[in-house]
Amino acid sequence: MLNDYSAAQDDIFIKYKIKLMAFIRFFIKMLLENLLKIIQIILFFMRKVAIIGFGMTPFKARWPDKTYFELAYDACNEALQDAGISIKDVDSAVYGIYNDLFERQFMPDIYVNDYLGNIDKPGTRVTTGGATGGFTVRSAFAEVASGLADICLCLGVEKCNDCYDKQTGTTTPEVLKAIAYSADMTWEYPLGMLAASSYVVLVNDHFHQYGNPTEEHMAKVSIKNHGNALNNPKAQAPMKLTIEQVLNSRIICYPFKMLDCCLYSEASAALILASEAKVKELKIENPIWITGVGAACTDAFIGNRKSIGALPSNIAAAKRAYKFAGLEYKNIKKLLDVAELHDAFSGQEVISYEELGFVEYGKGGDWLDDGGPEMNGELPVNPSGGLIGCGHAVGATGIMSTGEAFLQLQERAGKRQVPITKGRAISHSIGGPGAAYSAVIVLER
């Protein structure tokens, strides 16, 4: 009897031992499978992030037959196809939409999210003026790098010409008014502050300090970027111009002429960002890695700045991005194959040559005269045509610029392809009141 009882106890012990061993094996297996994630969480280690897909609509003055969310759908669909995935594979989304007044809809991002079918997943909106696209890329990068998402949709859209002024029968006054609302409503808006006038203050003061950019320098930027757009089938303003044509075009806000200014556009652009593990799982053959991200915001009220002829946010964002990527600010020009810069106004591009570290301060005009930023120059700038040539659909623009850098590094840019020898590019966005925001993204293949 006693022996039977002991045998039963032994059986129970063996069964529990088997279950315990099975549990331990399962626990060890799960621990090993998730060890990397656990270490990343403990150490706050950033994961590698790649761009695996890009899509954009043509940039146009007007899309009368499409809503803003239909434009977003077209860009998103092209990006998903480029990456070889579907919307179901996306874990989260970040939307860049600058101005609710353009779309005549507050919180337009939620309707974009609905139309894309991205239901029951996280969605975030970014709005930082002309830098909206660049900051949207930054936010999407953070989603994947932090481990919050393995695949993130980064999409920008703007349909500004749905604004309409019934008194003049045109869209222009309403568009300009919507942009002007970004100025300080107490001290700047009542004085007639517009985007052009805020950049003119920057360019004129820089000219008085350093002797550049001159009107001829600005005309050269216009000729370059409109000319580059001739090779971009999705560009809004491809043109072959002469110095005389630019200098003789209508004055918008001295010294800016009409051909020195970008056009406001309707368009959408989208990127697909993925973790290194997903890149391997999807067997992406030519991923482009985001190796540096930098951003900054200077005084919104221009009167508070130490100098109105400089953008400290440009310098700070560039230095952060380069340091993130392990690159030297002073040597950056020699380390890049191509740069896509924010050129809402031509003089602004010349100043950015200096502030992003391509040349010494005050030498941007000289570098331009030497052909440095031309397609066959030392560092091609804006092969896409930039904002002046391709267009400026505010929320989409920085994503378009990053997408162009992506295509260049993949050597898929068609007639505007530049030689890729270093395997590295940057995109740059600035915006907000007095161009307070700046973002720089470093890409490598």
* pLDDT per residue as tens digits for the range 243-296: 999 999 999 999 999 999 999 999 999 999 999 999 999 999 999 999 999 999
Specify the CATH architecture of the domain 49-163+262-444. 3-Layer(aba) Sandwich (3.40)
pLDDT score, position 12: 67
Cα(10)–Cα(372) distance, integer angstroms = 84
Strands (DSSP E) contained in 285-436 are 288-297, 338-340, 424-431
**E runs forming strands in 313-432:** 338-340, 424-431
Q: How far apart are CA 330 and CA 249, in angstroms?
A: 37
The 3-state secondary structure of 94-122, one letter per residue: EEECCCHHHHCCCCHHHHHHHHHCCCCCC
- The bridge status of strand 251-253 relative to strand 266-275 is unpaired
pLDDT score for 185: 84
* β-bridge partners, 427: 340, 441
Question: What's the confidence (pLDDT) of residue 33?
Answer: 64
Q: How far apart are CA 347 and CA 368, in angstroms?
A: 11
> Looking up tokens 């909206």, which residue turns up?
132
Domain locations along the chain = 49-163+262-444
Question: Are the C-beta atoms of 160 and 63 separated by less than 8 Å?
Answer: no
Predicted pLDDT of residue 43: 47
- Evaluate the CA torsion angle 14, 15, 17, 22 in order and state its sign: positive
Rounded to whole angstroms, the Cα distance separating 56 from 22 reads: 52
pLDDT at residue 216 in the model: 98
Q: How large is the greatest C-alpha to C-alpha distance in the chain, in angstroms?
A: 113
Q: What is the pLDDT of residue 314?
A: 96
* Cβ proximity of 239 and 262 under 8 Å: no
Nearest to 294 by CA among 270, 312, 276, 272: 312
> Read out DSSP for 29-95?
HHHHHTHHHHHHHHHTPPPPEEEEEEEEPPPBS--TT--HHHHHHHHHHHHHHHHT--GGG--EEEE
The model carries a pTM of: 0.88
Ordered per-residue pLDDT tens for the chain, 445 residues: 555 656 556 666 677 777 777 778 877 877 776 665 555 544 457 899 999 999 999 999 999 999 999 999 999 999 999 999 999 999 999 999 999 888 889 999 999 999 999 999 999 999 999 999 999 999 999 999 999 999 999 999 999 887 777 676 777 778 888 888 888 888 888 888 888 888 999 999 999 999 999 999 999 999 999 999 999 999 999 999 999 999 999 999 999 999 999 999 999 999 999 999 999 999 999 999 999 999 999 988 877 888 888 999 999 999 999 999 999 999 899 999 999 999 999 999 999 999 999 999 999 999 999 999 999 999 999 999 999 999 999 999 999 999 999 999 999 999 999 999 999 999 999 998 788 899 999 999 9
| CA–CA dist 2, 12 (Å, integer) | 16
